[in-house]
Homo-oligomer: A and B are copies of this chain.
């Protein structure tokens, strides 16, 4: 019986919701019921928002961010320091840094990191665009804000080599204890990095 609980329309909605990250089959069913219960307050606006996003969201031709305008809101923002370029792996990383609001700089989204095991080589990443921007665009410092993973660090080294012939300072994010973190729960690599990069108190 389990295969015919509801009509095909609801089953299809559940299947699609279950493909969202963070939702499994069970929570997708819960989400579908929630949507059906709140048809006018949530289901209809969400359908409209998805249709709008489908029609209007584009990749920024400069940095690779996604937005409803090209160049994106971040690239258009004149208050940002044009000498500073933050290189990130994904749009999610760009958004995370923007939420933190640490630096009013511009970004360059690589679209992933080098990962030979997953078949991602330099051709799959937006590296040509990065070299062109750094060479032409008055950039003085490139911050490599890639993940602190093996693949991320491999990518950082590759980008550093690519930019070696250009008169630009290349920096990376600091390693250390996360703010609010407890030493007891941290891995040894992080603790060693935090000790080595210790600063005056």
A residues engaging B (CB < 8 A)?
1-2, 4-10, 12-13, 16-17, 19-23, 27, 29-36, 39, 42-47, 49-54, 56-57, 65-69, 72-74, 77, 90-92, 94-95, 98-101, 104
Contact = CB atoms under 8 A, between A and B. Distances in A.
Contacts of A99: 2, 5
Given A1-B101, A6-B67, A35-B53, A45 B20 contact: no
B92 A29 contact: yes
A21 B34 contact: yes
A50 B68 contact: no
B6 A73 contact: yes
A10 B50 contact: no
A34 B98 CA distance: 18
B66 A54 contact: no
Contacts of A32: 53
Contacts of A33: 66, 90-92, 95
A4 B104 CA distance: 12
Contacts of A29: 92, 95
Contact of A50 (B2, B46, B94): B46
B16 A46 contact: yes
Please name the 8 residue pairs, one residue from A and one from B, whose CB atoms are nearest each other, closest first: A7-B68, A47-B50, A22-B27, A13-B49, A20-B31, A16-B46, A9-B68, A5-B98
